[in-house]
Structure 1
Amino acid sequence: MSPRTKEQNDAIREMRMNQIMQAAAEVYLEKGIQLEVRDVAVKAELGYGTVYHYYKNKHMLLEDLLWDALNRTESAIQPAISGDGSSLLKATSFSRLLLRNCIQDPSIFILLKTVSDNFHHFPGNRFSKLFAEFQERIYLPFVAMIRNGIDSQSSDKRANLIFGSLVGYASLNIHHNMRNEIDVEGIVDMIFSGLQSKEN
C-alpha cells in the first residue's frame, strides 16, 4: 500500500478538525465552559490522543471554534448586506438569516451567545481580537442598517435590543430542544413590527 499524498493528509486533517469542532459545539451546549477535551473526544468518537494532537487544551479548541463560526456567520449574512432594498428590509433579511443559522449551527449560536456575554467565561483577554472582528464584520453593519432604516433617535439601542432578542430566542429554543419548531419569519416580523421606517 502506497503512502498517502499531501493532499490526502490535508483532507484527513480538515475532516478530523471539522469532526472535533462539531463535537466541541455539541459538548459546549451541554456543559458550557466546563467541557473537557476528553468529553469532545468521546462525542467525536475519536481517541483522546487524536484530539490532543490537534488541540492541546480546550481554550485553543474553543478559540478555533469561535473564529470558524465568525467566518460562517459572515458568509450566512452576506446576502442581506450585499442585497437590494431599503436599509430596514436588509436589516430584516439579516435578522432572518442570522436567527436561522444560529438555530441550525451550534457554533454560530455559541459565538453569538459568547459575544453577548462579553466572553466572561473565558480567561484573560484572549478574545479581544475576535470581539473586534465580530463588531466590524457582523454587528456594526447591522447597526448601520437600523440607523439608516428607522425613524428614531435611539437606533443604536434598538439594534442592540433586536440583536439580543434574536440571541435570546435562539437560546430558549436550543436549550429546550425546539429547533424544528421555530418560526423564523414570524419571530423576526414580530421583532420588527414596532419599528417605524424613515420611508413612511
Structure 2
Amino acid sequence: MTPRTKEQNEDIRQQRLAQIRIAAADVFLNKGPLLEIRDVAAQAGLGYGTVYHYYSNKGDLLNDLLWDALVRAGGWLEAPTEVPSASASGEVRVGGQFGLAAAADTGNSAAADSISGNRETAAELGPVAAACVRLLQLWAGDHGLYLLYKLAGEGFASLPEARSTPLSAAFRKEVLAPFAVLLETGRAADGAAASGGTAAEPPYRLQRAEMLIAALVGCASISLRFNKLHEEARDIARFLKL
C-alpha cells in the first residue's frame, strides 16, 4: 500500500477536526458545560482515544469550536440573497459555493426551495427581518455558529478570562458591530428615521444589536430542540416584529 502524502494526512486531520467540532456543538446544545470528551466521541462515532488525540480536554475543544465558528459568522451579512443548504454529503454550504442552481443539480429540491423561499422573504420583509431569517436558518444547519452567538451573549463565561476576552473582542468587532450598522440602515430603509426616530449613538447601536441577538437566540433554542428552526425562522422574525 502506498503511504499517504503529507497533504493527504493533513486533509484527513482537518476532516477529523471538523467532525469532532460538529459533534461537540451538538452535545453542547444538550449538556452545556457538562459535556465530556466521551460524549463527543459517541456523538461523532469515533473512539474515545481518537478524540482525545486531538483534544485532551473540553476547554481546548470548546475554544477551537468557537474560533472556528467565528470564521463563518459574517457570511450571512455578506450574502443577502442566499441561505445555507445541505449538499448530497450533508455538508452545509453558503452563498455562491452552493447556490440555487447547484442545489437543483444535486437533486436537493428542499434546499432549492429553501433558497428560493428566502429570496421571497427578502422581498416580503424588510432588510433587518430578512437578515435575521438568514441567521436563524444558518443556525439550524450549523450548531457551532449558534453556540458562538449564544455564548457571546453570556460573555463566553464557559471559558477562562484569558480565552474569553480575545474572543469577546473579536466577536464584537467582526460580528456585532457590522450587525449594528445593518440595524441602523435597516431602520432608515423602513422609514423609522422619517417617522421621528433618530440614529442611535454607537454604544446604543451595539446594545440594540446585542438585545436582538439575545432574543433570536432565545427563540431559536426552542425550535432547535425540536429540529424545526429552519422552517420556523420566518415565524420567529414575525413574532419579534422585525
Shorter-normalised TM range = 0.7 to 0.9
Taking every aligned residue pair, what percent have the same amino acid on both sides?
39
Deviation of 1:28 (Å): 0.7
C-alpha displacement of 1:7: 1.7
Separation in 2, partners of 1:16, 1:130: 24
**TM-score, with length taken from structure 1:** 0.82
1:76 corresponds to 2:76: yes
Give runs of aligned pairs for residues 126-165 of structure 1, distance below 5 A.
Answer: 126-150=163-187, 151=193, 152-153=197-198, 156=205, 157-165=207-215
1:70-97 deviations in Å (ceiling 9; x for gaps): 111212331249xxx9xx9443332122
- Map residues 98-137 of structure 1 onto 2, 5 A cutoff: 98-137=135-174
- Which residue of structure 2 lines up, in the alignment, with residue 8 of structure 1? 8
Task: State the distance in 2 between where 1:107 and 1:149 align.
Answer: 27
Amino acid at match of 1:165: A
Paired with 1:148 and 1:15, the residues of 2 have a C-alpha distance of: 39
Letter of the structure 2 residue corresponding to residue 45 of structure 1: G
RMSD: 2.4
User: Which residue of the partner structure matches residue 179 of structure 1?
Assistant: 228
Local SS of the residue matching 2:77: helix
Alignment gaps of 5+ in structure 2: 82-121, 188-192
Amino acid at match of 1:159: A
Distance 2:4 2:223 in 1: 44
| Structure 1 residue 123, shift from structure 2 partner | 2.8
CA contact (8 A) 2:41 2:47 kept: yes
Over residues 20-52 of structure 1, what are the superposed CA-to-partner deviations in whole Å (9 max), with x where a residue is unaligned?
111111111121011111211121121222112
Which structure is richer in relative contact order (CA contacts within 8 A, separation 6 or more)? 1
1:65 shift after superposition: 0.6
**What's the offset of the Cα at 1:145?**
2.1
Instruction: Summarize the Cα distance change of 1:179–1:94 in structure 2 as closer, same or farther, 3 Å threshold.
Output: same
Which residue in 1 is equivalent to 2:64? 64
Count of matched residue positions in the alignment of Structure 1 and Structure 2:
187
TM-score by length of 2: 0.69
Contact 1:69 1:107 survives alignment (8 Å): yes
